[in-house]
Amino acid sequence: MSIFEQVESEVRSYCRAFPVVFDRAEGCYIYDENGNKYLDFFAGAGALNYGHNNPYIMEKVSEYIKHGGILHALDMHTVAKRTFLEDFEEKILKPRGLDYKVMFPAPTGTNAVESAFKLARKVKGRQTIFAFQGAFHGMTLGALAATSHAYPRAASGTPLLGITFMPYPYGFNNSFDTIAYMENVISDDHSGSEVPAAIVVETVQAEGGIIPVSVEWLRRLRDLCDRYGILLIVDDIQIGCGRTGEFFSFEKAGIVPDMVTLSKSIGGAGLPMSLLLLKPELDIWGPAEHNGTFRGNQLAFVAADAALDVLENDKLLDHVKKVEKFLVKYVEENVLPIDSRIEYRGRGLIYGIDFTALDPSGALAGKISKKCFEKGLIIERSGRNDTVLKILPPLVITEEELKAGLDIIANSAKEIIK
C-alpha cells in the first residue's frame, strides 16, 4: 500500500479505519484484493441504499453505455434526464402530493445545500440561516458554516458567516423547549439575531450521533416557520431515499418542507448526483445564476431511474420497516445487556449504538469498531468524539445478513468491554 502513503494527500480518512485494498463488491459485501470478504454496515456513508452493483441497476447502466448514450451534457435536454424526471414525478412526488420543481445543482450533497442557502437568501432578502448544534451539511464554505463540528470548521481558514446555531433536542437541550427558545430568539428584538431566511434541519442527525427528532417537534418547527415567514429546508442527503422507511424522512410528520436536499443514494449505484427540490413559487432563479459543469451526470440519471424501479418492485420501504423491528429486538436482547449504560436510537435502517456513558473519549467505541473490522464488518462511528457505532447497511440487506453483522457487533463489544 506504499503508493497511497507516498502520493495521496494526508486528508484521506476512511482508509485509515479500514486499512486494506478493496477490489470488488456485490450486494452487502466488499472484497479486498486478497479475496477477504467484509459485510458492509457503512454503505458508502449512505450512498449505496440499493447495495453494491445492484444487478438491475447495473444492467440498465450497461445497456445505456452499449447504446452509446451521451455521458456529459451540462444541463442540456437529454433522454436520460427526461426519463428520470418523468419517473421521479410519477413514482415519488405525485403519490405523496408534493409539487416540487427539481434543480440539479452539481454532483454532491454540499452543492445542493449551497444552492438551497443561496436561493433562500435571494427569495427572502435576509442573510441569516438557522442550523442546529450537532448538524452536518457539507464541507464547502457555505454548507460548512452550517456544520457544527469544530474539527472541519477549523480547517476552513476563514470566518464561516451567515449561520446562527440553535439547540437540537438532545442531551441537555432536551431539558427545555427548543422550539419555544427559537421563537423567543426570533421575536425578541434584543436577541441579537434577525429573523432568518431559512431553517435547515436533519430529521435524524447522522454525523451528530444518530439522533432523530419527534414527529411533534417537526410539526412545531414547520408551524414556527409558517408564522414568521421562514423557509424550512430539510436535509435528506443521508437519510432520504428510503433510509427511514419512507422515501423522505419527513413524511411521517405529515409536513411539506419548502426545500429538500437529496444526494448520496439518489444516484442509484453510488454515482455522483444531487437534487434540490423547491416549491414552484420559490423558483426565481435567472438562467445560470447557479450552475456546474457536472450537474448533468447522465449515467447517474440512468442509475437513479433504475433505482426507483428497485425501490418499487422490491417493496424496499416495507422491507426496511420489517428488518428495523428485527434490528431493535436484537439490540435490546443482545447488546444492551452487555452493559446497562449502553444506549441506542435511530429510525428505519440508520441506528446508533452509543457508548458515551462508558467512555466519552471515544476510545472504547474505536476499539470495538476496529475489532468489528477484524471480524469482517465495516462499520463507521459518529457523534461527539465518535462514541457511537453507526449501523447503516444497504436497504436490500436480508435478515440473515443483518443478524450476522449484529452478531459481530455484540461479540466485539463483549470482548472489548470485558
Write down the domain spans for the chain.
Answer: 58-313, 315-417
Cell of 245: 422507511
Q: Which of 40, 38, 34, 5 is nearest to 21 (CA)?
A: 34
Q: H helices within 89-190, ranges in order?
A: 109-124, 141-145, 150-154, 178-187
Q: What is the mean pLDDT of residues 115-126?
A: 98
Q: Half-sphere exposure (CA, 13 Å, Cβ side) for 104?
A: 23
> Beta strand pairing status for 129-132 and 198-201?
parallel
Please determine, for residue 296, whether its predicted confidence score (pLDDT) is greater than 90: no
Contacting residues for 26 by C-beta, under 8 A, at least 6 apart: 51, 52, 53
Report d(CA 300, CA 274) in Å as an integer: 10
Q: What is the mean pLDDT of residues 62-85?
A: 97
pLDDT digits (tens, 9 = 90+) for 326-342: 999 999 999 999 999 99
Please determine, for residue 174, whether its predicted confidence score (pLDDT) is greater than 90: yes
Residue 186's pLDDT is what? 97
pLDDT band at 303 (very low <50, low <70, confident <90, very high): very high
**Topology adopted by domain 315-417:** Aspartate Aminotransferase, domain 1 (3.90.1150)
pLDDT digits (tens, 9 = 90+) for 250-293: 999 999 999 999 999 999 999 999 999 999 999 999 999 999 99
Contacting residues for 1 by C-beta, under 8 A, at least 6 apart: 19, 21
Mean pLDDT for the chain? Answer: 97
Q: Burial of 379 by CB count in 10 Å (0-12 exposed, 13-18 middle, 19+ buried)?
A: buried
Count CB atoms within 10 A of the CB of residue 169: 17
Residue 68's pLDDT is what? 97
pLDDT band at 317 (very low <50, low <70, confident <90, very high): very high
Is residue 327 within 8 A of residue 351, CB to CB? The reply is yes
Report d(CA 271, CA 266) in Å as an integer: 9
Helices and strands in the chain, H and E counts? 14, 17
Please determine, for residue 20, whether its predicted confidence score (pLDDT) is greater than 90: yes
Domain 58-313 belongs in CATH node 3.40.640.10: yes
Q: Which of 302, 307, 296, 313 is nearest to 66 (CA)?
A: 302
Cell of 235: 436535509
The reported pTM is 0.97
Residue 1's pLDDT is what? 86
Residue 127's pLDDT is what? 96
